[in-house]
Amino acid sequence: MIPLEDNVGDIVGKAQRGLRISDTELAEKARVSSQKIRALRGGEFDELTLLSVAGVLGLAARSLYELAKGEWRPKKNDECDGVAQFNTRYHDMAVNAYLVWDPRSGAAAAFDTGADCSEMIRFANRHKLNVQLILLTHAHADHVADLPRLREETGADVFTPAREPVPGAEPIKEGKRFRLGNLKIDTRLTWGHSQGGMTYVVMSLARPIAIVGDSLFAGSMGGGNVSYQDALRNNLEKILTLPDETIICPGHGPLTTVGEEKQHNPFFAGKL
């Protein structure tokens, strides 16, 4: 079972950095001690501190408390035929890549490569899938680490967001559409974590699929390294407006759904 990418301390830290609020300022506004703020980020918390901090940072207090108590994780979402997740180690972190395919024709697309594409290639060969496209969500090293081998093994065409060029990959802009057998793949620019982060929305399987890279995680989101406010806005407007049953395939952590994130993600719960 893939664990959640972020704990409460990670979430608080991302919100603090995004809003540029120091420990001292957060403590002052939340009316708690700086020591309690540091303890919260370190994994220790009391309910009053958690609720006070959530209000200052614009986080949903109930969702944050659920995560702190270990009372929520997304339901299993591996029952949709045509989607496979591959979880590999890149230095000290786990990173995901995906295959999505048309069950009728076997035409497939790879989304990112992860640290090692070996299992993805074995899976494609075992299930007689024809990998025709490699679609990159963004160009961070952990997501494209094995691109040369995946391209060589599959002969697939490679596409990358125009704002994040990758050698040998064709740049694409928001609105680019792909057809893969019976599948339709749309592109949505969900930048903020990175300059050109792209979400790929796949239709025509039993449920809609959104491959979101590091834009959104189960119960969290990627750090707003480029723009925290744009990361929040793009996630709300371009991912969480998809149907509730949409399976979200994040760059780190377990699969989730739009419905679960609208209800349980501290960054977004109650905002739609």
> So what's the pLDDT on residue 46?
85
40 or 61: which carries more pLDDT confidence? 61
> So what's the pLDDT on residue 206?
94
> So what's the pLDDT on residue 1?
86
> So what's the pLDDT on residue 80?
81
> So what's the pLDDT on residue 45?
79
> So what's the pLDDT on residue 151?
98
Quick one: fold of 83-264?
A: Metallo-beta-lactamase; Chain A (3.60.15)
> So what's the pLDDT on residue 42?
84
**117-167, pLDDT tens digit by residue?**
999 999 999 999 999 999 999 999 999 999 999 999 999 999 999 999 999
CATH of domain 8-68: 1.10.260.40
> So what's the pLDDT on residue 251?
98
Global pTM? Answer: 0.97
Query: Which residues, other chains included, contact 261 with Cβ-Cβ below 8 Å and sequence gap of 6+?
Result: 216, 218, 219, 240, 248, 268
Question: Which tokens go with 143?
Answer: 């997501």
pLDDT beyond 90 at 244: yes
The rounded mean pLDDT for the chain is: 95
pLDDT beyond 80 at 79: no
**18-28, pLDDT tens digit by residue?**
999 999 999 99
The structural domains of the chain, with segments of one domain joined by +, span 8-68, 83-264
Q: Are strands 170-172 and 157-161 parallel, antiparallel or unpaired?
A: parallel
Question: Which tokens go with 269?
Answer: 């719960």
Beta bridge partners of 135: 111, 159
> So what's the pLDDT on residue 272?
82
